Amino acid sequence: MIAKMSRASDDQHDSSSAALVHETPPNIAASVKGISKSFKKTRVLEDVSFDVAEGESLVLLGPSGSGKTTVLRIIAGLEQPYTGRVILHGKDVTDLPARERGVGVIFQSYALFPRINKLLKLVQLEEHRKKYPWQLSGGQQQRVAIARTLAYKPQVLLFDEPFGALDAQTRVHLRREIRALLRQVKVPSVFITHDQEEALELGDRIAVLNNGHLEQIGTPDEVYNHPQTEFVATFLGAANLLLGVVTLGSIEIGTARVPATEETRKFRGGQSVKVVFRPEDVTLSKDAKLPGNCRRLANGIIEEINFVGAYERLNIRLDLTQRQPAQDQPPLYEVTINTPERMTGIPIIATRPKPEASASKFNVGDRVAVGLTAFSVLPNYTLVGGRVNRALEINR
Ligand SMILES: Nc1ncnc2c1ncn2[C@@H]1O[C@H](COP(=O)(O)OP(=O)(O)OP(=O)(O)O)[C@@H](O)[C@H]1O
Ligand SMILES: [Mg+2]
């Protein structure tokens, strides 16, 4: 009886503390809540919401014209949202002018003014303190711009593609410096880029923007390994994409049946899905034996092998159909590869790290068993009923 009573009071305690956690979000430095924006009659942002935690570096990633700069300008107060609020350190600043927001903005290029020794030291530029702006390299100018912005002790730092004008090597160097610097000063920051590598390296979290709409927000691992949309999957690196149908315990991809993953459970039987996997998630074997950590997909033929430095890239044509579609019908499967071309057919891309590539050599024309160590399953909303039926048909 006593045990029962104490459990009841535990329950009570649990539910009240859970409610409390819900009401007070942990150390949020900046929030954008339901931001929409139109220029003339064109909607450029649609209900964008996200939080930046204290000391966090959030990367806004998206293609050109997706609305990244507009989000930043709204946070900075240089642009008014059509709907939505901007909250900085618990204070609604939506109606405050830019200069009263305590936000530091670093743009692609910067006019430079007097500098401060302590900050110059922080950005490793002490020996350049007597130089004029035009005597500094692009990378040095950006370091000065950051030092100058920090001098105002901003509550939030905003970076709009600050490395856009720099060469690849300086970019990499400078972004590592900035990452270290942000860790040191612990100022929360929003960092814009359209470079996926930069996003993965700089972001504690990445928010992927597509056409004014926030597609996904998560850690680099979440957005790269568990993309929630096809756009996120293909924008963040190369992705193979195959159409499938969920059945009991497996996903049918043409004549292939891939054993279902935990993730597959949220789909009902007969539902049409997209199976997305990265080139590095493909395992190949010449003797039909695949390692235990991967799921068998199908057999394939190696069509092309390219040496790409640290790894080898292979084009493989999967054997997923025993029957060709009729002449006037579209192909059964579409594969998008992260290139400007959208190829039709069933080729996939695989990569192998150097040690593996040199341990077992493949040749063009080799027949291989293809397995997947990881893949994501996405709903296939765009597929019309006819296509689904045909995909099922070939398995009868
Ligand atoms: N002042 C403005 N007047 C009219 N349209 C605008 C204005 N500013 C931005 N736009 C439009 O809003 C959309 C989003 O622009 P934005 O500059 O936010 O994109 P972005 O993601 O920063 O692109 P980029 O990577 O090329 O810098 C674009 O279609 C752009 O043409
Ligand atoms: Mg921009």
In a domain, 120, yes or no: yes
Q: In terms of Cα–Cα distance, which of 231, 2, 249 is closest to 241?
A: 231
Expressed in angstroms and rounded, the spacing between residue 73 Cα and the centre of ligand 1 is 11
Indicate whether residue 64 lines ligand 1 (CB < 6 A). yes
Expressed in angstroms and rounded, the spacing between residue 145 Cα and the centre of ligand 1 is 23
pLDDT at 93 over 70: yes
**Rounded distance, CA 320 to CA 194, Å?**
35
Of ligand 1's listed atoms, the one at least distance from the Cα of 63 is 25
Name the least confident of 174-178, 264-268, 278-282.
174-178
In a domain, 74, yes or no: yes
Of ligand 1's listed atoms, the one at least distance from the Cα of 71 is 18
What Cα–Cα distance (Å) separates residue 267 from each residue in 170, 349, 377, 382?
A: 46, 26, 9, 16
Do 85 and 204 lie in one domain? The reply is yes
Mean pLDDT value across residues 30-52: 96
Please report the pLDDT score of residue 119 as a whole number. Answer: 60
Question: Which among 39, 78, 107 is the best mutation to test ligand 1's pocket, defined by most ligand atoms within 8 Å of the CB?
Answer: 39
Could you give the percent of the chain with pLDDT greater than 70? 75
Do 81 and 210 lie in one domain? The reply is yes
Domain boundary among 204, 230, 256: 230
Expressed in angstroms and rounded, the spacing between residue 59 Cα and the centre of ligand 1 is 18
Helix (H) or strand (E) holding 122: helix 117-122
| Residues forming a β-bridge with 241 | 276
Please report the pLDDT score of residue 351 as a whole number. Answer: 97
Question: pLDDT for 102-120, tens place per residue?
Answer: 888 877 654 343 355 556 6
Give the dihedral sign, CA 217/218/224/230: negative
Highest average pLDDT, of 24-33, 177-186, 288-297, comes from 288-297
In a domain, 4, yes or no: no
Do 135 and 217 lie in one domain? The reply is yes
pLDDT at 196 over 80: yes
Mean pLDDT value across residues 159-178: 82
Could you give the percent of the chain with pLDDT greater than 90? 45
Do 101 and 221 lie in one domain? The reply is yes
Please report the pLDDT score of residue 224 as a whole number. Answer: 94
Indicate whether residue 80 lines ligand 1 (CB < 6 A). no
Domain containing residue 167: 22-230
Do 209 and 298 lie in one domain? The reply is no
Mean pLDDT value across residues 142-171: 79
Indicate whether residue 73 lines ligand 1 (CB < 6 A). no
Mean pLDDT value across residues 198-225: 95
Do 332 and 219 lie in one domain? The reply is no
Q: What is the DSSP string of 170-214?
A: HHHHHHHHHHHHHHHH---EEEEES-HHHHHHH-SEEEEEETTEE
Indicate whether residue 67 lines ligand 1 (CB < 6 A). yes
Q: Which CATH number belongs to the domain containing residue 288 in this structure?
A: 2.40.50.100
Contact by Cβ (8 Å): 298, 318: yes
Q: What tokens appear for 385 in the block?
A: 């009923």
Mean pLDDT value across residues 282-298: 90
pLDDT at 321 over 70: no
Indicate whether residue 143 lines ligand 1 (CB < 6 A). no
Question: Which among 38, 44, 208 is the best mutation to test ligand 1's pocket, defined by most ligand atoms within 8 Å of the CB?
Answer: 44
What's the order of all strands across the beta sheet hosting 256-259? 256-259, 250-253, 240-247, 272-277, 376-379
* pLDDT greater at residue 174 or residue 353: 353
Question: pLDDT for 367-385, tens place per residue?
Answer: 889 999 999 999 987 544 4
Residues 6+ apart with CB under 8 A from 312: 305, 306, 351, 352, 354, 357
Do 313 and 167 lie in one domain? The reply is no
Indicate whether residue 65 lines ligand 1 (CB < 6 A). yes
Question: Which among 69, 79, 107, 163 is the best mutation to test ligand 1's pocket, defined by most ligand atoms within 8 Å of the CB?
Answer: 69
Please report the pLDDT score of residue 212 as a whole number. Answer: 96
Place of tokens 């092309």: 304
pLDDT at 289 over 80: yes
Please report the pLDDT score of residue 338 as a whole number. Answer: 41
pLDDT at 92 over 80: yes
Question: Confidence band (pLDDT; 50, 70, 90) for 76?
Answer: very high
Of ligand 1's listed atoms, the one at least distance from the Cα of 194 is 25
**Rounded distance, CA 53 to CA 151, Å?**
22
Mean pLDDT value across residues 74-82: 94
Please report the pLDDT score of residue 276 as a whole number. Answer: 93
In a domain, 284, yes or no: yes
Please report the pLDDT score of residue 146 as a whole number. Answer: 76
Indicate whether residue 196 lines ligand 1 (CB < 6 A). no
* pLDDT greater at residue 5 or residue 325: 325
Question: pLDDT for 228-257, tens place per residue?
Answer: 999 999 999 889 999 999 998 899 988 888
Expressed in angstroms and rounded, the spacing between residue 65 Cα and the centre of ligand 1 is 5
pLDDT at 86 over 60: yes
Report the mean per-residue pLDDT for the chain: 80
What Cα–Cα distance (Å) separates residue 302 from each residue in 128, 296, 312, 361?
A: 55, 17, 12, 12
pLDDT at 184 over 50: yes
**Rounded distance, CA 359 to CA 7, Å?**
59
Helix (H) or strand (E) holding 120: helix 117-122
Q: How many domains does the chain have?
A: 2
Do 196 and 88 lie in one domain? The reply is yes
Residue 123: helix, strand or coil by DSSP?
A: coil
